[in-house]
Structure formats: structure tokens, C-alpha cells
Structure 1
Amino acid sequence: MKDIIILMFRLMVCIFEIWMLFGFYNNFLKNKPRKSRNNIFIILVFALIIFAINSIDNTILNLICVPVVYFVLAIVAFNGNVFKKLFGTLIGTIVILGTELIIVAVLNITSKELIESSMVNEPSAFVLTIIVKMVTFIVFEIIKQFSSKESEMMDGKTFCLYILTPLSCLGIMFSVVFCRIDFTENSLAKSVLIIFFFCMLIGNAAIFYGYNRYAKILVEKEKNRRTVMEQKMELESYKKVNVANDRYITLLHDTNHHIKTVYSLLKKDKKDDAMNMLSKLFDKYEKAEMIEYSGNTILNTILSDYKEKSSKENIECDIFVERGFNIEYVDEIDLVAMLSNLLSNSYEAAAKSDMKKIRIQMFMQNDGSFSVIKIENSYTSMIVEEDSVLKTTKQNKEFHGLGIKSVQQIAEKYNGWLSSTWSDNVFKSVLILENSMC
């Protein structure tokens, strides 16, 4: 029974070790698309392989085979560059094997009586193993914190709060060892201590796993919300295109009748009536006009819409689109989201300002390698910036302020960026996108 417990403990340690390594790889390698239960199966298989190697009890074999198994795990479970996998394997091996060597060295140097105490038998070996894995876990979490993508990493304050728990647990474990607590007269107490030590280790891992899972859910929610917003914008844009087309169709249908009427009035020498009718007809055409700024219908629709809205608010709106301006490589939904957000912000700011001006320029740069969208608008309200990030001044901050962030994220998709500057009551946004068709 005792041997079975020891084997089960060692197997659990191997599973925990592979789970930590799997999470570490997942931090910078792309996980192959599969169901989560398949990941569990992979972790169990590789844990059994490590368990089998450890059971041979050959140090040289262990040092040679274990890193190979780690590398095979990276090959089997993840996509990505081979050199990245080799580098990840090297770091993972150093962390896992290095912490074992360091902890054993520290304990042997600082506590010689440990060798002679009751802590040297199996229960003490269990405690020592749990301490080693706790240190390994903390080291992996620190590395992951500084190498994670911005959307997946904790902010510094949150990480300090979370890391306090495993550090406290590690301190308790070390204290038990260095206090030379002897449980020779009560083996049950030893077993209870080991069980709770192991629970502390699993509990600490669960805390970070729970946070990561919660963070992913929040990211998914924000992505879904952004997708819904973009789809609404796209739908609104298409509706505007259809409305504009309907206006033209109606005008073209009625033009024939208008021309006949004007011709009839001219024949009767009623020039004033004919001119009056032509004037009304031209007014209708102007209202239905969608200016052809470029060969892109979506771009023309959005610019025409904001030109019309600006005119109604007495905003001076100057639009220049360079001949040959290329935006065809951008998905329509992305184009709608970027332009609608930028122009909406410019329109709202200009409408509230004293100067009431908007200037839009679209042109190519570096022999057509980049598409540049430059928008300038007047403003009078206060610009709020926090940690180099623009903050909304609107009351409902939960839903507002996502526009600029959305534009930045879409720009990154096209290897581009968005920069914003402001001075002398003029706000300037410059959006640069890499032309993939070049």
C-alpha cells in the first residue's frame, strides 16, 4: 500500500510538471487547434513517459531523455518555429531541473541536521519534492508574466497580489523544514502535513488557472461586443449605400418626366417656370449626390455621409482622396469600423468646437507600400490621457472609449498603426496600413 502511494505521488508530480511546461509553451507558441480534452490526454501521455524515465533511476539517462521528451511535447502539441520550440525547451529544462538542484543545494548547505532527522525518510522526501515544484511553479509564472501578450498578462499590481499567495505557501513549507519538526511518533501527522502541502501546491496552480480562464472569457466577451459593433456599422453603411442607390434610381426614373415637362414649358415660352423646375430638380440631385472620391463604394458612402452631416451642422469639411488611393486589401467590415470610429470622433469634437473644421486626407506613401488616412479636426473639450492611452470624457465609459482601441487593433492586423497628436485646439489622427497588394 505504501509503495502504491509513493508511485501515485510521483505520477501526480510528473503530471503537474508537464502541465506547467504545457502552460509555459502555450505562452509563446501557437496551440494546435483541438478540443481541451485532447490537451489533457497529451499531458497525461507525456507525464507517463517522464514517470517511466524517472522510474529507471539513472541520472545520466534522466538528463539526456527528459529534455528530448520536453522538445517532443512542443513538436506534438504546438505550431510554430522549430527554433522557438528549441529555445522554449531549453528554458523549460533549466527552470525544472535548475530549481531542483538549487533547492536541494540550499537545504543541504543550510540544514546539515536535516540528513540525520526523521525528515530524510519518504514523508520528508515528499515535502522536499513539493517545495521544489512550488518554486518551479512560481518561476514559471514570473517568466510567463513578463513574456505574455498584453491582452493575456496581468497588470503589475494584480500579479503582485496573486503571487503573494504562492510565496506565502512556499515560506510555510520552508519554515516546516528548517524548524526540524519531527513527526516520528505520529506518522498520521506526517501524512496530513504532506497532503495539505500538496493541496497548497494544487490550490496555488488553480488560482492562476482560474484567473487566466476568467481573463480569456473577458477577452472573448470584448471581441464579441466589438464584432457586434462592427457588424452594426457595416449594416448601417450598406443601408446608406442602398438608400443612395434608391435615390438615384428614383431620380433617373423621374428624370424622363421632368425633361418632358421642361421641354413642354420651353415650347410654350414659359422660361421662368422651366428654370424653376430645373432648379428644384438640381436640388434633388445635390441631396442624393454620393461623391465619387475613389473606386471603393464603401469609402465613398462613408465620406459622403459625413460630408452631408457636416454640412447640416455648418462644419467646414475638406476631403481629399489622392487618385490611385488603394484600400481594397482591407476587409469591408474592418474599413467600416476604422473609418466610422475615426470620423465619428472627429465629427462630434468638431461639432462642439468653435472653429468647426474637419480635414480628411487619404494618400499612398513609399511607392504605394502604405495607405495613409490623416484626419484633423478642431476641438475645445479637454483631452484625457492615461498611460499613453486616450480616455473618453463621456459619462458611459463602459461603452465609449472603445473606438480608438478598436481602430488600433484592426490597424495591427494590417501591420499598421494609429497615432494621435493634439495642439492649438487641433486634434490629428494618422492611420497607416501596409498595402498587402503592393
Structure 2
Amino acid sequence: MVVFGVLNYYFPNTIPSLTNASAHFLLVLFSKPLYLFIVQIIGQLLHNKNQSNQSFAKSDYLLFPIPLISIGIMLTFTYWNKTLSSIPELNWLISICASGLLLLNLLVFGINQYNQKRQQEYTQMQLLCQKESDMTEYYRALVQQDENQRVLIHDIRRHLASIDTLAAAKETDKIHAYIQQLQTSSCLKESLQRCDIPLLNAILCRYANQCETRQISFHTDIRSHTVDFLTDADLTALFCNLLDNALRAASIPDGFIELHTYTKTNSPFSIITVVNSCLTDPFSGPGRTLVSSKNDHRRHGFGLKSVQRVIDRYDGAIKMYFDLPTLTFHTILTLRPEKC
């Protein structure tokens, strides 16, 4: 109909004067390339989007009447083509209405795709928040375990006294059972002190164990009162996501991770730096964007979004770059305690 209106405007009465086959051929000759051009543009816009594994919602059926109504309007224009073609001023209205209907259908399709994407992102963020909450509770449990260990060490004299009493009574079996119970107690597991914040210390100890398992050198330098203004949830979201990314990249021969926190001189900002080994430049995507190494690319970026959420809450900033000569990836965060 767009082509029909344009042709009738510049060549009045040309199409109605032709036979049906000739008119049809002329319209097809101009309309099909236009259709191909529009489809190519849409294809390019959707080329880099991951459309796989998307469920078809029942609410999408509500969109079907819109293209059906558009087809009905087009058929009406076709039925009236002889009358409208005799009025040159209305030929532009045909083209404008046809273009408007085309844009309307594309707009509805685009809004639907955008809403689906936003809904998926919202769901992923909700799952991420739930994961962070669960991780916070987990690290709190580790802190409680560490406290129980301190209590057990404090009471070790009483345990030795009880063992001595059993030894005096020659209760060998009971002594053996008592010692086995103490040895298998989780309270006696080794716990390193890496910082003066109990929750963060539990987080760092967990990642230190993972680095030791993967033969990754892990060094931390957490200065006192540099990140103690962060809430438990923010500590978990920030350091777990940063160290998860660093651990994934540094899982190579002679890999290492360095974590430092300090306060900038004559400034209210606290600085957090993470330097880790990285064999390839992660900024190799279109527009120098980060490329995920995860198998599930749909979850790519949500960890950094969680980090960004904490940064925004404390009026901070983040900078990331890859140093090719040393094959290291650098992450630098600045946080303002007064913001919270």
C-alpha cells in the first residue's frame, strides 16, 4: 500500500489503467525490494540478541489482533483503490497510513520484546538477591562456627580435666570416644584471621581454600576500618562477585589473585583493588564490552550489576582494565562511607 500510494501520486491513473496482471507485477516489482529492505534492517537489529530458550507466554496471544486488524485495513484500502487513486491528495494519505500501520506493528513487537527482556532481568536479579541473602546467612554461620571454636579452645582445660578423670578411672573406651569427638568437631577446624571483620574474614577464608585447591596464589591486605561501613549483604554481594570473577579468570598455571583495601589520603573514599591473572583480554566483545566465559551466557553481567548496585549505594565508581604486558586484569572500586 505504501508503493501503491506513491506510484499513484507521481503517476496518476497509471495502475488503474493497466490490466490486473500488469498492475500486480508493477506493484510487486517495487514493494518486494522495500519489504526485503525492512526485513534486513530488523534482522540486523536482532542479530546480536540471544533469542534461544525463550518461553512463549500466553499473554503474547493478546498481540495477535493488532496485525489482523492491520490486514483488514489494508484490504479495505485495496477495495477502495480505484476511488482513492482518482484523488491525488489521498495517495499520500494511503502511504502515510500504511507506513503508520507498519510502524505500529513493529513498535508493538519491540515493546513486547523489551518487556520480556526486562522481566527476565528482573527475575535474574531477584534470584541473585536471594542468592546473596543465602550466602550472607552462610557466612554468618561460618562466623558463628569460628566463635564456637574460640569457646572450645577457651574450655580446653576443662576437656583435659575430664580426660584426666577418665584416665584415673581407667575408662579407656570412654577416653577414646571423648578424644574422637573432639577431633571430629567442626569447632577445631583451622581458621585464619585475614581481617578484623568477622563476616568478611569468613568470605576470604572460603576463597582462600578454593584458591589453594586450584593452586592459585591468594594474597589479601585488608586495612582496618576501610570497609567496615558496608552492611553484611553489601559485603557478600561485593566481595563474592569480585572474587568469583577473579577466581574464574585466574584458574590457570601460576595464577594469582591480590585483594587490597585502603583509604585514600586526604579523602573520604575507600579504595578496593583486585588484580588477578588473565590469559586473554575479556574486553574483546563488540564495543569493547566484557565477554563472559560462563556456559550460560544469559546470566552474564548480573554479578557486575550487583556490584554496581552496591557502588551506587555508596556514591562510588568502578574502573576495570586489562594489562596485556603482564596478562593481568585490574578492578578498582571507590566507595564513599558517608553516603550510607
Whether the TM-score (by the shorter chain) exceeds 0.5 is yes
C-alpha distance in 2 between matches for 1:217 and 1:260:
63
Q: Which moved more, 1:218-227 or 1:197-206?
A: 197-206
Deviation at 1:302, TM superposition (A): 1.8
Is 1:260 paired with 2:158?
Answer: yes
- Normalization by structure 2: what TM-score? 0.58
Q: 1:183 touches 1:190 (CA, 8 Å); kept in 2? A: no
- Normalization by structure 1: what TM-score? 0.47
Q: 1:422 touches 1:428 (CA, 8 Å); kept in 2? A: yes
The 1:184–1:231 alpha-carbon spacing in structure 2 relative to 1, beyond 3 Å, is closer
Structure 2 residue aligned with 1:235? 134
The Cα offsets for residues 342-395 of structure 1, whole Å up to 9 and x where unpaired, read as 101222333x22223221101122534222111112244564522221202344
C-alpha distance in 2 between matches for 1:380 and 1:286:
39
C-alpha distance in 1 between matches for 2:150 and 2:231:
31
Structure 2 residue aligned with 1:430? 332
Q: 2:128 touches 2:302 (CA, 8 Å); kept in 1? A: no
SS of residue paired to 2:189: helix
SS of residue paired to 2:298: coil
C-alpha distance in 1 between matches for 2:90 and 2:328:
71
The 1:370–1:288 alpha-carbon spacing in structure 2 relative to 1, beyond 3 Å, is same
| Cα RMSD for the two superposed structures | 4.6
Structure 1 residue aligned with 2:263? 364
- Which amino acid in 2 is paired with 1:340? C
SS of residue paired to 1:359: strand
C-alpha distance in 2 between matches for 1:382 and 1:289:
35
Give the number of the structure whose residues are more often helix, by fraction. Answer: 1
Deviation at 1:411, TM superposition (A): 3.0
C-alpha distance in 2 between matches for 1:231 and 1:185:
63
Q: 1:244 touches 1:288 (CA, 8 Å); kept in 2? A: no
SS of residue paired to 2:266: coil
Is 1:336 paired with 2:236?
Answer: yes
Q: What is the correspondence of 1:283-322 to structure 2 with a 5 Å cutoff?
A: 287=189, 289=191, 291=193, 293-295=195-197, 297-322=198-223
The Cα offsets for residues 66-97 of structure 1, whole Å up to 9 and x where unpaired, read as xxxxxxxxxxxxxxxxxxxxxxxxxxxxxxxx
- Which amino acid in 2 is paired with 1:378? S
Identify which of 158, 163, 174 aligns with 2:45.
158
Q: Which has the higher contact order (CA 8 A, sep 6+)?
A: 2
Q: Which runs of 5+ in 1 are unaligned?
A: 1-113, 118-153, 160-180
Structure 2 residue aligned with 1:31? none
- Which amino acid in 1 is paired with 2:158? K
Q: 1:358 touches 1:375 (CA, 8 Å); kept in 2? A: yes
Structure 1 residue aligned with 2:245? 345
What is the aligned length?
255
The 1:284–1:255 alpha-carbon spacing in structure 2 relative to 1, beyond 3 Å, is farther
Q: 1:372 touches 1:430 (CA, 8 Å); kept in 2? A: yes
Deviation at 1:227, TM superposition (A): 2.8
SS of residue paired to 1:372: strand
- Which amino acid in 2 is paired with 1:363? Y
Q: Which runs of 5+ in 2 are unaligned?
A: 1-9, 13-40, 47-80, 168-174
C-alpha distance in 2 between matches for 1:206 and 1:238:
48
Give the share of equivalent positions with the same residue, in percent. 16
C-alpha distance in 2 between matches for 1:237 and 1:184:
70
